[in-house]
Structure 1
Amino acid sequence: MNKSKEVIIIGGGAAGFFAAINMAEANPELKVTILEKSGKVLQKVKVSGGGRCNVTHACFDPKELVEYYPRGHKELLGPFHRFMTGDTIEWFEQKGIQLKIEEDMRMFPESNSSQTIIDCFVDSAEKAGVTVLLNQNVQQITALEEGFSIETKTKRFRSDILLIASGGTTRIWEMIKGLGHTIVTPVPSLFTFNIKDPLLDEIPGISVPDAQISIEHGRFESTGPLLITHWGLSGPGILKLSSLAAIELAKLNYHFSVEVNWLNLPQEEILESLKKQKSKNPKKNVLLKSCFEQISKRLWAKMVLSSNIKETQNWSDISNKQLEALCEQLSKSRFKSHGKTTFKEEFVTAGGVDLKEINFKRFESRIHSGLFFAGEVLNIDGLTGGFNFQNAWTGAYMAASAIADQ
């Protein structure tokens, strides 16, 4: 192989660094350079997981893992057989970083700090001889007869091989279109629902551990923890649903109907529990205590009053109609969402380079030899819980392996 072969990586994020380290370690003769548009690298890693970095998810079956990707699940099955969760854990362990599994199966560094991951990448890249150039905002990418020309605001680079790991960046997507690739129009994924409703007013911070949420008359559905916020509904159940329905909700301009079963139980079972409560505690005030441990006292009070049950009524005083109304609140609360809010500082998009144009054995373009992609620049996105990072690690590893072997 040509000892002076140049590899340029656009994007100083998770996928870019992971690819750079792997290819430089596998083939020290490569000259690997990362071009980062800002003055700092790995900023998305820094804020991920609330500043703890949700490195991956403790799912170890490729067939099960791909189900967490609304877009890209078919394409990722083969790559996950080559590099997935167990390989990610081993990779970080070899760098001296232990990961831990939390109750919800998300995995974090034992330090509980994303800085641990950032330091690992920066140190490993330096040891492997990777050059990192900051403030290199790419303005143009040109495919040459052999290799590529990359122009930034301050400099022109030439590379034999180009890996684009720029994330969901519209400006870079436009340049990729200029290279002949198709870009699936990006829309936001992983967002919370903006809902203004009397049932949710004045009780932000209230959560339930396992709700069933559906939108647009059951066309999309998810289950999981649900959180009431100042602006509406959030939590893992909502974020999962937003990812599953990302494209459809964008078409609706984020105005849609939401239905919540707060207990994730059949309506008949909820009604039966209410009837038992009425029979067992006829003289107790309905408002004072929830008969479901998953429903907090404040949320329960809201539901009771919304069911036309008076504050002074005991269980023996409520009619069958009131009981059915309370059951309806618990099993089929209906809301109108009028917008979305990005989840914390994290931003994920559905959309990107059309997957039909990628060779997923190498994460290489089918249009230009020597052009590779990894991470969110592709039309792949996962649910919340470490899945988007795992996609980044897998794609970066596959591309790095293919580049190192050239």
Structure 2
Amino acid sequence: MNIVVIGGGAAGFFGAIACAEANPSAKVVLLEKTGKLLSKVRVSGGGRCNVTHHCFAPAILSQFYPRGGKQLKEAFKSFGARETVAWFAQRGVQLKAEPDGRMFPVTDSSETIVKCLLQEAQKAGVEIRTGAGVERIESVQTGAQPYFILTLSSGDSMKADKVLVSTGGSPKSQSYDWLRQLGHTIQAPVPSLFTFNVPSSPLKELQGVSVPHARVRIAGQKLEYEGPLLITHWGYSGPAVLKLSAWGARLFYEQKYTFTALIQWVPDQTEETLREHLQQYRQAHPKKTVASNPLFGLPQRLWQGLTQLAQVPELVRWAELPAKNTNKLVEALLRMPVQVNGKTTFKEEFVTCGGVDLRQVNMKTMESRLLPGLYFAGEVLDIDGITGGFNFQAAWTTGHLAGTAMATEL
């Protein structure tokens, strides 16, 4: 039996290894069109590889996926974060959890993960071919056993009894044409996980300043997210923005990345508690200058920037602060408007939402509902998670389910 896995990324390797381990008699060939294997694994997490997230409850884990969460809930019961940690541990790779839940190899090096996957593939007998792009898949449904003919970019062709497509996401819709030709519906790919460009940002001089906890919401929408926020020379970044960009990926695309975001620098405060706090501080420290004494643990430079936005004179003391400036300071702290105009890709970790429509895939086995013998795993599916190891977890899960199913159905 010939199994062909298309794509040498996380999902492809996991699928190939799972299949070869579960059925040693199958011939498993992995094709990668470039000369590089596991390139996203290498650059992820700043070269440390954020393997998964320390969340072992499938129902909770599935909530971190703007698209595909509902369908992954069952899949995570078969192979979730706990199983991922155990899989690597059994192969000598220990993972550690950071305070925010992200999990990395204890070596803090993505090469540990790359080496492990390459070794396991070799051990399981997976044949790996680089520089082998697939141009077309043809399904031959005649006879007792349907099969596939794969046309490679070199002009050669291959026969396969089962095929796993794990080619990753692509920002170009035409990259999916070869799957459309097989009858599959493709949800249009649009960028996810990006930072906000704010050319007219009132705080752009504060690049590099960050706060550990802020709330960013979109004016006129129910979209909001809390987390660390970073001011950059082009606008705003950090987990709060990146995660919000994932949840709002399609909306922001439709709006051509032009919208108003409202930043709440003190997410634990309501208008009422904030005003009360300012009043108490004013009474306790009437002679302190407003601009040079930051409140709420905010960085000095940020606090000064916000007081400037509120048009608070530089040397004015709390006792002398006019009501109109107090009101403006409350607005700046709770609802600072920024006009977003464009986006910037976050490092090399480009993620797309979109891909093969999940309604056409059996999420227990990852097999196509339209073409028996054709399987999907990873970002080629319309699945994407926020930052924190969730996209890799989806790759391990779908790859493992597909590989196991291909092996047991032979």
CA 1:364–1:189: 2 relative to 1, 3 Å: same
Is residue 44 from structure 1 mapped to residue 40 from structure 2 by the alignment? Answer: yes
**Equivalent residues, number:** 401
Is residue 262 from structure 1 mapped to residue 265 from structure 2 by the alignment? Answer: yes
On the 8 A contact 1:274/1:327 being kept in 2, the answer is no
On the 8 A contact 1:166/1:172 being kept in 2, the answer is no
Give distance in 2, aligned partners of 1:19 and 1:45.
Answer: 15
Report the TM-score when normalising by structure 2.
0.96
Matches within 5 A, 1:161-310: 161-169=162-170, 170=172, 171-264=174-267, 265-293=269-297, 295-310=298-313
Q: Structure 2: give runs of 5+ residues left out of the alignment.
A: none
The one of 134, 137, 145 equivalent to 2:133 is 137
The one of 27, 52, 60 equivalent to 1:64 is 60
Partner of 1:160: 161
On the 8 A contact 2:204/2:234 being kept in 1, the answer is no
The one of 352, 355, 358 equivalent to 1:355 is 358
Q: Post-superposition shift, 1:198?
A: 4.5
Give distance in 1, aligned partners of 2:138 and 2:280.
Answer: 72
On the 8 A contact 1:286/1:315 being kept in 2, the answer is yes
Q: Post-superposition shift, 1:266?
A: 1.4
Partner of 1:8: 4
Deviations 1:116-144 (A, max 9, x none): 10011111111111011001122111112
Q: 3-state SS of the aligned residue for 1:227? A: strand
Deviations 1:244-302 (A, max 9, x none): 01001000010111001011121222222111221111111111120111x10001001
Q: Post-superposition shift, 1:197?
A: 3.2
Partner of 2:342: 339
Is residue 27 from structure 1 mapped to residue 30 from structure 2 by the alignment? Answer: no
On the 8 A contact 2:132/2:153 being kept in 1, the answer is yes
Is residue 85 from structure 1 mapped to residue 88 from structure 2 by the alignment? Answer: no
Is residue 116 from structure 1 mapped to residue 112 from structure 2 by the alignment? Answer: yes
On the 8 A contact 2:14/2:400 being kept in 1, the answer is yes
On the 8 A contact 2:136/2:178 being kept in 1, the answer is yes
Give distance in 1, aligned partners of 2:70 and 2:95.
Answer: 28
Give distance in 1, aligned partners of 2:277 and 2:7.
Answer: 55
Q: Post-superposition shift, 1:172?
A: 4.6
Matches within 5 A, 1:375-386: 375-386=378-389
- AA aligned to 1:151 is T
Give distance in 2, aligned partners of 1:301 and 1:176.
Answer: 54
On the 8 A contact 2:204/2:231 being kept in 1, the answer is no
Give identity over the alignment, percent: 46
Q: 3-state SS of the aligned residue for 1:202? A: helix
Q: 3-state SS of the aligned residue for 1:217? A: coil
Q: Structure 1: give runs of 5+ residues left out of the alignment.
A: none
Q: 3-state SS of the aligned residue for 2:224? A: strand
RMSD over equivalenced CA pairs, Å:
1.0
Is residue 314 from structure 1 mapped to residue 317 from structure 2 by the alignment? Answer: yes
Partner of 1:55: 51
Give distance in 1, aligned partners of 2:164 and 2:201.
Answer: 50
Give distance in 1, aligned partners of 2:337 and 2:370.
Answer: 48
